[in-house]
Structure 1
């Protein structure tokens, strides 16, 4: 058993840990005859950023050579990082003894060159002979990386005995296994997102809302439209149906167009994740939650699907709590972007009922947490359900006292 075999096994074991714990994917590797232990390259796209990790055997490299490598990384990633949020982390791995001063110098190289702030090219040193992981960097290049499994792999290396099956595994065998593991992780994410699933409930909500809009447009007396408004005084008189009907009524073409476009985009995601039944529960109860908060704090009549649509955003945020990794790897950045844009519009455009939007967002999150995502929770989470009931009672009582 050679030291080279042990180092190679450590590199691929670390890559396996990063794939399993942090959803990295192994990239195609370059092979050169007689190269010795080759670097291992990984990548992960999360939200709107792309992170590369390079596991680099570094025996024989001086601190100055390491600085040159870091500088080259900075030049390669600089322009891309500014426009695409591309970051890199290089793990310099030494199988021979390195002094503590050299380890600290490698850590200082990143800070000294300012890459953490301006570029996002970070580095960490690993001394396998002593089982020491150097100072772990900070910044976007290492955000979301689970350090403890790496620390344990490093600490166990000096006295660890790898099985022969691992030691004699070839580069191609390792890479085939890690590609398969990467694919399984990706397939799990895709199965949660259910991108090929039908979205009949969303189509149904769209059709129903458009039909009601057309009927209201044909009624010149606007009597039909008036029956769907959220009117606080009439709700206090007992017309509780007005806590739901406003979700399906709209004033103008631009009003319904924007809401239905949002429903088309967000609804398909939410329905595929939650399933049609839970999705409809989220939509209806989030719409009611929006009307309740508007009833409590808004004295003016209101209508529109915006509260329910904000509820879909809340439910997708709840999905992020159920599966943070799948959320960040897929729709996370889009949901945050749409939420930010809609919140800004809610508070800056006149005549928009922002209370209804905020209520729908809160209600959608509570209901999304309560019903759970299929495959994660088979039973409703009653605590979140009680939270929604408490919210509904509180806002209704406040509205009655207004």
Structure 2
């Protein structure tokens, strides 16, 4: 009947154009439609409207069973844990026989994942609460058939125009920018890799340090540019390949969504955040684009926060699962800089919130994100003066000293040691004694080796070096005592055994 048809399209138009519901399903005859509310703030986020003239309750019962099956299929498609549906029949009159028992209570599936509230909007209903709004004068329609049909066509045109506009806006979200910065960064890191390979090898510590890897001591000593340069360096071909492949897939996606300039800011800020977090929490030498790439994942999480339905429809849980897997690997596999990963993830999210989406403004979110970012950076800078960070800086310095010693750069090694904040530990005294031993300062070397074993009696290499010093001092008895102690602590050390063979009685 024209009155019910008019009422049906009036409700569809209201839900789509006024309440921003999204159409999930529309039947070929356009008499059944399923719509989903986007914010998730409504008790029944899915509404099913069915234009049908009901006659008997047994048909209604069968249709309710069909609706529950369709609801389950839609729940799986939407990947929801549960689904609540308000199923509304637009009918002139209710069934002629008893039907109240069918609609008195919501239908709940056996696994409790689907709940359906059934409503009959017949001519006895003058108003109804729908999507948080009261729809009044449900039975008030234009007087003539011609006017009703014209208004129905207007409703249809409004609905389908709105749908097309929404689809176009969604497509534009993924096609704002044309990617090229992602490919530029891939090219830069490949070029840097081969330059390092030609300068001593990308796995060589000295090469990494010279080319700008993260070294806590050098950053604390004023080389702040090392908070950015590690993004473009990689340690070994596998590291380069994994990050290049990840950037190849996720980078262009972020660039298409947010545009070139926003992507540049997101990527570099996330990379900085990752290196800064690593500086605060890890003393190890490190390099790589992992933090910046995790920042791209952070950008996708921001997208998911702003457009949850679209995100899970287009990308699903895949992105979140990848993030979780990478973080688990970081916590379980030795040598992975998880602080850098988490710092990059958070930095990418905040950077994206600051720039937001192209041609869209959300000053409340953007300003809040900027304040939060500045606050976190401020806290991080304050934390650099903490004892924990200073200890990590010293540990980084000792690692740097080891590298200098391996390269026989003893003057540089001693210079770094002199700047170490916390000197009362066995590693400091041992490294200093090693340098003094190489410089033939035997008395000073012996003094610092004695301090070493006083702090750590299990330091077997210190006993070996004391044996060497004793030989230089022509004290064979002491040399034998020290080398025997070293062998007791590390009985399979060939270097110790060879010296013992030379000096034993």
Normalised by the length of structure 1, the TM-score is 0.77
1:10 aligns with 2:4: no
Q: 1:114 aligns with which of 110, 128, 136?
A: 110
1:77 shift after superposition: 6.6
Q: Residue 40 of structure 1: which of 32, 52, 61 is its match?
A: 32
**Closer, same or farther in 2 for the Cα pair 1:161/1:76, shift >3 Å?**
closer
TM value normalised by structure 2: 0.63
What does residue range 157-168 of structure 1 map to in structure 2 within 5 Å?
157-158=138-139, 160-161=140-141, 167-168=148-149
What corresponds to 1:22 in structure 2? Answer: 21
Q: Compared with structure 1, are the counterparts of its residues 307 and 53 closer, same or farther at alpha carbon in structure 2 (3 Å cutoff)?
A: same
Give aligned pairs, total. Answer: 368
- Contact 1:91-1:124 within 8 A present in 2 as well: yes
Is the alpha carbon distance of 1:185 and 1:398 closer, same or farther for their aligned partners in structure 2, counting shifts above 3 Å? same
- Structure with larger Rg: 2
Please say which of residues 90-99 and 182-191 is displaced more in the overlay.
90-99
Q: Work out whether residues 216 and 225 of structure 1, in 8 Å CA contact, stay in contact via their aligned partners in 2.
A: yes
3-state SS of 2:118 partner: strand
1:272-351 correspondence to structure 2 within 5 Å: 272-324=256-308, 326-331=310-315, 333-351=317-335
CA distance in 2, matches of 1:103, 1:309: 58
TM-align CA RMSD? 3.6
* Structure 2 Cα separation of the partners of residues 350 and 249 of structure 1: 20
Q: 2:209 aligns with which of 226, 229, 250?
A: 226
Q: Which is bigger in relative contact order (C-alpha 8 A, separation at least 6)?
A: 1
The 1:44/1:192 distance shift into structure 2, 3 A limit, reads: same
* Residues 118-175 of structure 1: per-residue CA shift (max 9 Å, x gap): xx473431435324658xxxxxxxxxxx922xx433x4414x4458776214977765
- Gaps in structure 1 of 5+ consecutive residues: 31-37, 135-145
* TM-fit CA distance, 1:288: 0.8
Once the two structures are superposed, the pairs formed by residues 2-151 of structure 1 within 5 Å of their partners are 4-20=1-17, 21-24=20-23, 27-30=26-29, 39-42=31-34, 54-75=48-69, 85=79, 89=85, 90-96=87-93, 105-106=102-103, 108=105, 110-111=107-108, 113-114=109-110, 116-117=112-113, 120=114, 122-128=116-122, 129-131=124-126, 133=128, 147-148=131-132, 151=133
- The counterpart of 1:390, out of the listed 352, 368, 375, is 375
User: Which residue, 148, 171, 180 being the options, matches 2:161?
Assistant: 180
| Equivalent position to 2:196, from 216, 230, 250 | 216
* Distance change in 2, residues 1:386/1:75 (3 Å): closer
Distance 2:193 2:104 in 1: 63
Cα contact 2:214–2:227 (8 A) shared by 1:
yes
Q: Is 1:291–1:356's contact at 8 Å kept on the other side of the alignment?
A: yes
Tell me which residue corresponds to 1:139. Answer: none
Q: CA offset at residue 28 of structure 1?
A: 5.0
The whole-number CA distance in structure 2 between the counterparts of 1:225 and 1:156 is 75
How many Å apart are 1:281 and its aligned residue? 0.7
| Corresponding position of 2:417 | none
Does the CA contact (< 8 Å) of 1:306 and 1:356 recur in 2? yes
Residue in structure 2 matched with residue 138 of structure 1 by the alignment: none
C-alpha distance in 2 between matches for 1:185 and 1:80: 20
Q: Within 1, Cα distance between the matches of 2:174 and 2:75?
A: 28
How big is each residue's C-alpha offset from its partner over 1:234-286, in whole Å with a ceiling of 9 and x where there is no partner?
Answer: 22222211211111111132222222222122211211122111110111111
Deviations 1:336-388 (A, max 9, x none): 34333333333333322111111111111111111121111297933322221
Q: Which moved more, 1:51-60 or 1:277-286?
A: 51-60
Specify the alignment match of 1:203 in structure 2: 183
* 1:181, distance to aligned residue in structure 2 (A): 2.6
Partner Cα distance (2:313, 2:142) in 1 = 33
Q: Residues 369 and 384 of structure 1 are in contact (CA less than 8 Å); yes or no, is this contact kept in structure 2?
A: yes
Q: What stretches of structure 2 of length at least 5 have no aligned partner?
A: 39-44, 390-505
- Specify whether residues 107 and 240 from structure 1 end up closer, same or farther in structure 2 by C-alpha distance, changes over 3 A only: farther
Once residues 352 and 271 of structure 1 are traced to their aligned partners in structure 2, the CA distance between those partners, rounded to angstroms, is 27
In terms of mean alpha carbon deviation, does 363-372 or 125-134 score higher?
125-134
TM superposition shift of 1:74: 4.3
Q: Name 1:152's counterpart in structure 2.
A: 134
